[in-house]
């Protein structure tokens, strides 16, 4: 099996896991901050360290091979990603799920692809560049179509929903829009931070780790920054809501713990595999791979939504959703072709 096919299969699996892990999050019960805290410890700290420790001879030597400035920059991007993710939740209250998700996904995909692209030497003259940019534009078009479909679904299913009233209030809409844009930029910072930690990946390869496995050390760095943001926010909510006192009285504690751990495993499986697929794609992996990863995750999450009955009674918006997914699939194919151009 050649490298191109292997990388595409890995990116496909990563997108599938990314589009699926949200099913576990839907099962989080009240005291959300407790289960998110568990999710963050498992998904952002434990699994990355264990996986990297198995495949890289000396993870911490690779990390501290970075200059202090570079290490802090990678951690900073991870922290910003974690902090702005919380703003996404607030933006939903003002914009609705579909519009907030569309803004975050669109900006996250665009900025998360373009910034690494600008850092690739001599890329401006490469024949694959027009194909990459076309694929990115088509992907964004698909996100717009899906966002419109989601808004139309909300109007049909909840014509008197309070969210609609909030959306019509200019000030709250502007606040929601600002928070949505910030969360979208923050989503891109996850991938930017991943690329900034590349010197640690190079150090891991020099130790003897396979290039695709060496990418795991970048996640250890970036996600630690993201964990810090979640840690401080959850601690704040523990005191504010007195969550730990209520937690001891829950009869379904084990069930919620299971879903927290299950969700964390799926979530980092997505990121870990994305990093491996991007490494196999070569220097444009964080560009092509990120766009493909984001597009496929959105398609998969939409399919789960359809299966779960989220689009019941909204036939016309559902047809528009399918069109949006088809557009995303076209962008996926284009990016796969661009990857072939870069490899051969």
Nearest to 115 by CA among 290, 257, 273: 290
Domain ranges of the chain: 3-343
- The Cα 240–Cα 176 span in angstroms is 24
Q: Mean pLDDT throughout 26-43?
A: 77
Closest CA to 78 of 202, 212, 154, 188: 188
Instruction: State the average pLDDT over residues 303-320.
Output: 83
Cβ-contact 243, 237 below 8 angstroms: yes
Task: Tell me: pLDDT of 164 over 60.
Answer: no
Question: How many whole angstroms separate alpha carbon 29 and alpha carbon 340?
Answer: 45
Pairwise CA distance, residues 82 & 78, whole Å: 6
Residues in the chain: 344
The residue among 49, 144, 136 whose CA lies nearest residue 98 is: 144
CA 113, 176, 311, 156 dihedral sign is negative
The CA distance from 140 to 173, in Å, is: 22
As a whole number, the mean pLDDT across the chain is: 82
For the question of whether the overall pTM of this predicted structure is more than 0.85, the answer is no
Local confidence band at 225 (pLDDT 50, 70, 90 cut-offs): very high
- How high is the pLDDT of residue 283? 80
DSSP for 9-66 reads: HHHHHHHHHHHHTHHHHTT--S-HHHHHHHHHIIIIIIHHHHHHHHHSS-HHHHHTTS
Residue-level pLDDT at 144: 85
pLDDT at 297 over 70: yes
Q: Which two tokens stand for residue 123?
A: 């890329």
Cα–Cα distance, 275 to 219 (Å, whole number): 8
Q: What percent of the chain has pLDDT over 90?
A: 26
- 148 has a pLDDT exceeding 80: yes
Task: Report d(CA 64, CA 231) in Å as an integer.
Answer: 23
Q: In the chain, count H helices and then E strands.
A: 17, 0
């Amino acid at each position: 099996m050649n490298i191109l096919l292997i990388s595409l299969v890995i990116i496909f699996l990563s997108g599938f896991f990314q589009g699926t892990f949200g099913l576990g999050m839907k099962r989080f019960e009240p005291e959300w901050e407790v289960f998110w805290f568990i999710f963050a410890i498992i998904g952002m700290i434990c699994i990355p360290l264990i996986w990297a420790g198995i495949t890289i001879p000396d993870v911490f030597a690779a990390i501290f091979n970075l200059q202090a400035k570079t290490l802090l920059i990678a951690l900073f991007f991870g922290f910003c990603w974690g902090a702005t993710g919380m703003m996404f939740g607030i933006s939903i209250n003002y914009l609705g799920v579909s519009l907030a998700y569309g803004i975050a996904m669109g900006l996250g995909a665009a900025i998360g692809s373009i910034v690494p692209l600008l850092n690739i030497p001599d890329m401006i003259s490469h024949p694959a560049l027009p194909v990459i940019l076309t694929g990115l534009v088509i992907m964004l078009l698909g996100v717009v179509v899906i966002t419109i479909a989601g808004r139309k679904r909300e109007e049909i299913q909840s014509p008197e929903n309070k969210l609609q009233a909030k959306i019509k209030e200019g000030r709250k809409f502007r606040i929601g829009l600002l928070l949505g844009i910030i969360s979208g930029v923050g989503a891109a910072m996850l991938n930017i931070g991943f690329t900034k930690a590349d010197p640690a990946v190079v150090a891991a390869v020099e130790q003897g780790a396979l290039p695709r496995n060496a990418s795991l050390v970048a996640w250890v760095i970036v996600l630690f920054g993201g964990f810090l943001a979640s840690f401080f926010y959850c601690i704040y909510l523990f005191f504010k809501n007195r969550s730990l006192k209520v937690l001891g009285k829950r009869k379904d504690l084990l069930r919620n713990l299971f879903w927290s751990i299950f969700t964390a495993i799926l979530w980092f499986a997505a990121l870990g595999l994305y990093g491996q697929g991007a490494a196999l794609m070569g220097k444009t992996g964080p560009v092509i791979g990120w766009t493909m990863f984001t597009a496929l995750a959105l398609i998969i999450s939409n399919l789960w939504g359809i299966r779960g009955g989220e689009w019941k009674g909204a036939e016309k918006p559902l047809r528009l959703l399918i069109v949006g997914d088809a557009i995303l699939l076209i962008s996926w194919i284009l990016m796969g072709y661009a990857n072939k151009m870069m490899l051969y």
